[in-house]
Amino acid sequence: MQHAALLVSAYPSKRRFLLISRLHAWGETLEEAFEQCAIAMFNYITELELVEVKQVHHVVAQGHDMLSLLFHFLDELLYMFCAEPYLVAKRVKIVEFDRVNFRIKARAAGEEFTIGKHTQGADVKAITYSAMQIHDRPEAQRPELFVIIDI
Amino acid sequence: MQHAALLVSAYPSKRRFLLISRLHAWGETLEEAFEQCAIAMFNYITELELVEVKQVHHVVAQGHDMLSLLFHFLDELLYMFCAEPYLVAKRVKIVEFDRVNFRIKARAAGEEFTIGKHTQGADVKAITYSAMQIHDRPEAQRPELFVIIDI
């Protein structure tokens, strides 16, 4: 074993990498794909098997097009986790999906995040618009979404 | 607030999502891109700012082509973390890169992972060959790699 301190200078220190974390969700309908995308995000944050359904929180999201609607939908749910009521959603149900005015009303069911009871997964810092894709295909192929998140 | 239990059946329960975590690394040389990819992996596992260089571990990786060499290089380093010496590497230096026999000898410098001292990030379960890419371009463009990991 060589002395560690002597070796450090020989190692590259400049960061030349990126970590990309992407959510890919789909469903029978676009609503379901949105719901699944939200669950995927919470699944990143903690193991949903350990989350109980104890309370329901209502969220409203408003966009100016479908991409910004998806962004704000996820962002509202992330905010619900990062601030009061600190809720981790095990289930998300869209109760109103207004495609003309780009507005969503949804219910999120779960419980308050509690260290000790719940595991800490990735620290989701933000939703991004980077390479965001929404494929809404009502025919043979299912609707699907791709969202890159900052962790 | 409606009663939570009554609402659960109304929520979709089938999982229709995937989480994809990808490492993207580059360097002046292919060796550096490999080293950076390893650091990217450890950066996913824990915050490297909190890791000190206290010991050095030597790893050897053997492939049958460049892709499998990259796979085994990362896999050996992941194993070093998952089993004795449970080392988180803050620096990785390739000391021998044999492109003919697809063999790498490297030094990893860091310290034993300790809960309390180090943060727990993503639980990297495995390296995958899925959509793995190695672009080794010695001219104008830098060499770069893409590796998807299971978390």
Residue of chain B whose alpha carbon sits nearest to that of A26: B16
A124: Cα separation from own chain's centroid: 8
> How many CB pairs below 8 A link A and B?
141
Is domain A21-150 in CATH 3.55.10.10, yes or no?
A: yes
Contact residues, chain A, for B25 at CB < 8 Å:
16-18
Tell me the per-residue pLDDT of A87-97, one tens digit each, with 9 for 90 and over: 999 999 999 99
CB contact under 8 Å between A33 and B16, yes or no, is yes
Q: Is A54 a residue whose pLDDT tops 50?
A: yes
Alpha-carbon gap: B5 to the closest alpha carbon of chain A (Å): 7
pLDDT classification of A137: cutoffs 50, 70, 90: confident
Alpha-carbon gap: A144 to the closest alpha carbon of chain B (Å): 9
Q: Is B134 a residue whose pLDDT tops 50?
A: yes
pTM greater than 0.90? no
Strand (E) positions, B14-125? 17-26, 55-62, 87-98, 103-112
Rounded CA-CA distance B91/B52 in Å is 10
Of residues B1, B17, B151, nearest to A56 (C-beta): B1
Q: What is the pLDDT of residue A25?
A: 95
Rounded CA-CA distance B89/B147 in Å is 18
Q: What is the pLDDT of residue A56?
A: 97
What ranges do the domains of chain A cover?
Answer: 21-150
pLDDT classification of A14: cutoffs 50, 70, 90: confident
Q: What is the mean pLDDT of residues B9-27?
A: 78
Average pLDDT, chain B: 89
> A24-33, B67-76, B133-142: which range is least confident on average?
B133-142
Rounded CA-CA distance A34/A67 in Å is 11
Q: What is the mean pLDDT of residues A36-59?
A: 95
Alpha-carbon gap: A70 to the closest alpha carbon of chain B (Å): 15
Which of A79, A89, A149, A77 is CA-nearest to residue A113? A89
CB contact under 8 Å between A32 and B13, yes or no, is no
B13 phi, psi to nearest 5 deg: -115, -20
Q: Is B14 a residue whose pLDDT tops 80?
A: no
